[in-house]
Amino acid sequence: MYGEIVTSLFQTISANPAILERKLPEMVAFLQRQGDTEGQGTGNKVTDQEACFADVVSKSGFQFLPKDAPAPEAGRYYLYQLKGSQQSLDFGLREYEGGQLKKQIIVDLKHTKSKSFYLNDGWFEKGVYYIVSWNAGTKKNPTRRAHIALGEDIPSAEEQAFMAELIAFKRAKNTDTKKVGSLRPYIRFANQYSCERFTPEVAATHLANALATI
C-alpha cells in the first residue's frame, strides 16, 4: 500500500506540474511553525513549492510528524526539513508499524522559473528522490515541468566525476587551511544545474527508474 501511494503521488505530480505552483498560505504557515500552533517557526522561509508538496502528501494519507516527536505506533507520516531549516533534504515520507520505522522515502525539492536551478552548496545525493519544478517554455509563455528522479540518475558520468574532484578539493581546503595570516578561508559552492538536460525522453527514463525503486 505504501509503495502504491507514493508511486501514485509521483505520477500525479509528473502529469500535473501546476499542482506544485499554487499559493497555499495556510500550509506555508503550518510548515513554518513545524505544526506547532504556538511556535515561532523555522529559520528558513517555507516556499510555495514545499507547501504544495505537503498539501499533496497530506491528501494522499500522510500525517505531519514533528521531527522531535516519538515514533508513532503505526501509520504513514511526513517530516519537513529533515536536517534543519538551513540544510537540504526537505521531506521524509515514512511508514511505521509496531512503533518502528519500516519504510522511508526522502524527497528534496528544487524550483526555478527558468531553465536552471541552484544547487547551493550541495550536490545530488544517492537514494534521494528529487522533484525539480522548471519552465520548459519562455518567460511570457511558460511551460511548467516537474522532473522526478533519483539523485544518482540525474548527473552524467562526466558531471559526477568533475564534482567528486571539486568536492574533495573543497573538503581538503576547509579541513587543512584554518588560517592564512588574518584570513579565515572557507569554501562554499554556488553551482547551478541546467534543466535543458531534462528532455522528455530523459524525464520518462528517470521517472521510470525512480518508481521502480519504491
Write down the domain spans for the chain.
2-154+193-212
Answer for the pair 64, 83: CB distance below 8 angstroms, yes or no.
Answer: no
Q: What is the pLDDT of residue 170?
A: 94
Phi, psi of 161, deg, nearest 5 = -65, -40
**36/57: higher pLDDT:** 57
41: pLDDT strictly greater than 90: no
Alpha helix ranges (H) inside the chain: 2-15, 25-32, 48-59, 157-176, 200-212
Cα–Cα distance list, 36 to 40, 41, 141, 146 (Å): 8, 8, 40, 30
- For the entire predicted model, the pTM comes to 0.91
155: pLDDT strictly greater than 80: yes
36: pLDDT strictly greater than 70: no
Answer for the pair 107, 128: CB distance below 8 angstroms, yes or no.
Answer: yes
From CA 152, how far away is CA 130, in angstroms rounded? 10
